[in-house]
Amino acid sequence: MKTECTAGQLEFHGLGRRAMVGEFNGGKISSDSGGLLLREVEQRTHILKRLAGCFVDYRNPDQIEHTVDTLIKQRVMGLALGYEDLNDHDALRQDPLLALLSDVADPTGQERRRAQDKGCALAGKSTLNRLELTPFDADAGSRYKKVVANPAAMDELLADLFVEAHDTAPEQIIVDVDATDDPLHGHQEGRFFHGYYRHYCYLPLYIFCGEHLLCARLRQADQDGAAGTQEELARIIGRIRQSWPQTRIIVRGDSGFCREDLMAWCETHAVDYVLGIAKNSRLKSAIAAEMAQAKAQYEGTEQAARVFKDFHYRTRKSWSRERRVIGKAEHLAKGENPRFVVTSLSAETLDARALYEELYCARGDMENRIKEQQLALFADRTSTHEMRSNQLRLYFSSFAYVLMQTLRRLGLDGTSMAKAQCDTIRLKLFKIGAHIRLSVRRVWIAFSESYPYTELFRHILGNLQRIPLRC
């Protein structure tokens, strides 16, 4: 049915005899008001404020409107809310909710100096771009880019936040190491073709302890997958032992990290390890009898069969000593599936089956953490030309992950979403429509009456508010 819509109105298919007409005139409504939960986390941890402290600002304070603190919060909060690109922030400049999350004193933008900026409380893409592209050697004399990042300080902050997340020193922690690919679609600095992944990429190194991110290091793809791991572990474990000298530390990784220098370093520094080993003819020969046994079990039951062997092994050239190896002789419907791990742990600590099935196989959860950061928080968004600025983008994604993980640990614990991943948290908790209104003494936020998770939201906020504010 034809309606008499005015200019600016949107006409939809009617409902029965009623016309259905829409307008963009609902006032200051944000679609991301659940992000206020992240602000509550920030007020109690100062994760992003401390991240901002990892930058040196050489700009003239009399000539700036956006502090480093608000820029960092805008960028990282934007990632957490699902806005991956700087172009998104040109559209988000007028969003009062993101301005509140960024602690902008004037969330409506009515006090901006320039007339063309009125109503835009937040920085645009050009300002954020200058933040990301500032060279390390910039100073007050530089023309445009004057906010210099300190990568070493950011690395230190990740380790500090991990330690601070524990009330007491744990008896044992497991540190997982892994590498993955960041596909490249341009001519970025450090671009190389990787034969295994079969495309041009970076090869970032990730280090986790459970859900806690300890390191996200961007690397060129023309090097060994374990390159730099020993140095990163030395830095991280050194920091951990400053606070927890008695904690037992186990390093866990796949066969890409089974390197003599890494194992020797662990043995020298009283760090245990469980690492995969690439299979070879000598290793397969060592478990030939067990493989025959597994095959016989499979043929008798037609169910996957596993038999384990605990033995000592040394390579002919690369290893400096004999080490304990666990061989898994497995027979599946598709045939033989032998696997091997090397470890510094004794048989008295864990027997062969428990070490492989309960300890080593659990490393697969780290891959989920990497996927969570890449798919939900855009860690693979490395599209600037310089590797330095791409590393900074990876840092921003990393701290967005830390912020989300802290929300999960402090706010979602004991709820139905205690194990929810970032994209689920964003969909169910952040994407809430709300009308925002400012008065002299209050910021009024009117949430949607039809929001389906109201009670869960109240419970999470209550969990967070039981934690003292950080001064």
pLDDT tens string 320-360: 999 999 999 999 999 999 999 999 999 999 999 999 999 99
Is the same domain home to 197 and 266?
yes
Give me the pLDDT at residue 281, please.
96
Contact between residue 125 and residue 90 where contact means Cβ atoms under 8 Å apart: yes
Residue 405 within a domain: yes
Tell me how far apart the alpha carbons of residues 172 and 393 are, in angstroms, rounded to a whole number.
32
User: 143 or 76, which is more confident?
Assistant: 76
Give me the pLDDT at residue 1, please.
46
- Indicate the residue type of 40: E
Is the same domain home to 144 and 158?
no
Residue where a domain terminates, one of 340, 359, 377: 377
Give me the pLDDT at residue 5, please.
55
Residue 470 within a domain: no
Q: Report the CATH number that the domain containing residue 206 is assigned in CATH.
A: 3.90.350
Q: Nearest 5°: CA angle at 237, between 222 and 267?
A: 80
Contact between residue 28 and residue 110 where contact means Cβ atoms under 8 Å apart: no
pLDDT at 470 over 90: no
Tell me how far apart the alpha carbons of residues 310 and 357 are, in angstroms, rounded to a whole number.
14
pLDDT at 287 over 90: yes
Of all residues in the chain, what percent carry a pLDDT higher than 90? Answer: 87
Is the same domain home to 357 and 228?
yes
Residue 7 within a domain: no
Tell me how far apart the alpha carbons of residues 92 and 311 are, in angstroms, rounded to a whole number.
60
Q: pTM of the predicted model, to two decimals? A: 0.94
Q: Nearest 5°: CA angle at 374, between 136 and 138?
A: 10
Is the same domain home to 38 and 165?
no
Please tell me the total count of domains within the chain: 2
* Mean pLDDT confidence for 156-176: 97
Is the same domain home to 360 and 410?
no
* Mean pLDDT confidence for 363-391: 94
Q: What is the 3-state secondary structure of the chain?
A: CCCCCCCCCEEEEEECCEEEEECCCCCCEECCHHHHHHHHHHHHHCHHHHHHCCEEECCCHHHCCCCHHHHHHHHHHHHHHCCCCHHHHHHHCCCHHHHHHCCCCCCCCCCCCCHHHCCCCCCCHHHHHHHHHCCCCCCCCCCCCCEEECHHHHHHHHHHHHHHCCCCCCCEEEEEEEECCEECCCCCCCCEEECCCCEEEECCEEEEECCEEEEEECCECCCCCCCCHHHHHHHHHHHHHHHCCCCEEEEEECHHHCCHHHHHHHHHCCCEEEEEECCCHHHHHHCHHHHHHHHHHHHHHCCCEEEEEEEEECCCCCCCCCEEEEEEEEEECCEECCEEEEECCCCCCCCHHHHHHHHHHHHHHHHHHHHHHHHHHCCCCCCCCCHHHHHHHHHHHHHHHHHHHHHHHHCCCCCCCCCCCHHHHHHHHHCCCEEEEECCCCEEEEECCCCCCHHHHHHHHHHHHCCCCCC
When computed from its CA atoms, the radius of gyration of the chain, rounded to whole angstroms, is: 27
Q: Quote the domain boundaries for residue 261.
A: 152-377
Residue where a domain terminates, one of 377, 399, 421: 377
Residue where a domain terminates, one of 315, 344, 377: 377
pLDDT tens string 192-221: 999 999 999 999 999 999 999 999 999 999
Is the same domain home to 356 and 243?
yes
Is the same domain home to 40 and 111?
yes
pLDDT at 445 over 60: yes
Tell me how far apart the alpha carbons of residues 91 and 78 are, in angstroms, rounded to a whole number.
12
What integer best gives the mean pLDDT of the chain? 94
Q: For the range 339-342, what are the long-range contacts, defined as Cβ-Cβ under 8 Å and sequence gap of 24 or more?
A: 339/276, 339/279, 340/276, 340/277, 340/279, 340/283, 341/274, 341/275, 341/276, 341/277, 342/258, 342/263, 342/273, 342/274, 342/275, 342/277, 342/313
pLDDT tens string 223-260: 999 999 999 999 999 999 999 999 999 999 999 999 99
